[in-house]
Amino acid sequence: MLSDKVILITGAAGGIGRATALAAASEGAHVAVADVNFEDVQETASLVMQAGRGTALPLQADISLSTEVDRMVLAVITHFGRLDGAFNNAAIAQWQCGAASKKLGEISEDAFATIMRVNVTGTWLCMRAELDYMSRHGGGAIVNTSSISGLVGRSGSGAYSASKHAINGLTKTAAVEYAECNVRVNAICPGFIDTVFVKSSLATRGDALLASVPMHRLGQPDEVAEMAVWLLSDRARYVTGSLFGVDGGFMAG
- Residues annotated as catalytic are 160
3-state secondary structure of 196: helix
Contact between 85 and 240 (Cβ < 8 Å) = no
Contact between 154 and 140 (Cβ < 8 Å) = no
* 186 alpha carbon, distance to own chain's centre: 11
**Crossing angle (nearest 10°) for helices 221-232 and 15-26:** 50
Q: Which amino acid is at 101?
A: S
Q: How many CB atoms lie within 10 A of CB 88?
A: 27
3-state secondary structure of 11: coil
| Exposure class string for 197-232: b at 16+ Cβ within 10 A, else e | bbebbeeeeeeebeebbeeeebbebebbbbbbbbbb
3-state secondary structure of 144: strand
Comparing CA positions, the residue from 62, 16, 17, 58 lying closest to residue 41 is: 58
